[in-house]
Chain A
C-alpha cells in the first residue's frame, strides 16, 4: 500500500508580506506646535490684560470724576449743617456763660485767626 502523502506548501497566492516595518500610531502634535500654540494663547492673554489695565484706568478716572462733580453739592449741604451746629453751640455757650464777666462766647483759645473746626460737637 502506498502512503498518500501531501507536501506542505504555501497557501495559494503565497504568504503575506512580513510586517517588519515599525507601526507607530500618530502621537499628537509635535512639541514645537504645542509650544507655539501655548505661546500664542499666552500672548493673546497678555494683550487682553494690557488692554484691560488701560480700560480699568479709564473706569477709575470716570469714577473719580463722578465724585469730583458731586463734591461741591455735598460740601455745600454739609457746610450748612456745620454752620447751624456752630451757631447753636455759640448760643448755648452764651446762655451758659452769661453770668461770667468779660467772657467772649466763641473766642478762640489761639491768637491765630485761622479757622479751626470745633474740637467737639453736640449731636442735636
Chain B
C-alpha cells in the first residue's frame, strides 16, 4: 500500500522527473508573488516594452504553440528579473512598503497611493521610469496622481 508523500519533506532533494530538454537554455524563473508583481507591473511594462511586444507578436504568429516563442519568452523573463533586481537595489524600502500595503488591502491600487507615490518618485529619480496608464482621457490627471480621490479607504 502506498501513501502520499510530500516531495518537499523527503530526504532526497526534489528531482524533476521530466525536465526541459537540454536543447532549451535554462532561465531562472522570476518567482515573485502577485503583490510584488502588481506593484512592479507598470515599471515592467515600461522597462521591458520591446521584449514584451516582441514576445506577444511572436505568440500571435505561433497561434498558441508553446514551443514557438521560447527564446523571446526567456528574454521577457530575464528582463523582468533584471528590473526587479534593480528595483530591489535602488528602492527596496519603498517597494517593500508598497507591495506589503497591496497585500493588506486586497491588492487595490487606490488603497495604497501614499506608498505608491514614494515608490514612483524613487523609481523616477533612480531609474528614470514613470508609471503611465495608457488611454487616460486627454487633459485629465492620471488616476494615481489625483490629489483628492473619491475612492479611498475608510481610514485615511
Contacts and interface: CB of A to CB of B under 8 A. Distances in A.
A73 interface: yes
Contacts of A65: 41-42, 45, 133-135
A73 B80 contact: yes
B63 A114 contact: yes
Interface in A70-86: 70-73, 75-80, 82-86
Given A58-B136, A124-B18, A69 B41 contact: yes
Summarize B's interface: helix, strand, loop or mixed. Answer: loop
A59 B67 contact: no
A5 interface: no
A9 to B, nearest CB: 76
Interface residues on B, range: 35 or more
B42 A66 contact: yes
Interface of B: 17-21, 24, 27, 29-30, 37-38, 41-42, 44-45, 48, 51-52, 55-56, 59, 62-67, 69-70, 72-74, 76-77, 80, 109-110, 133-136, 142-144, 146, 149-151
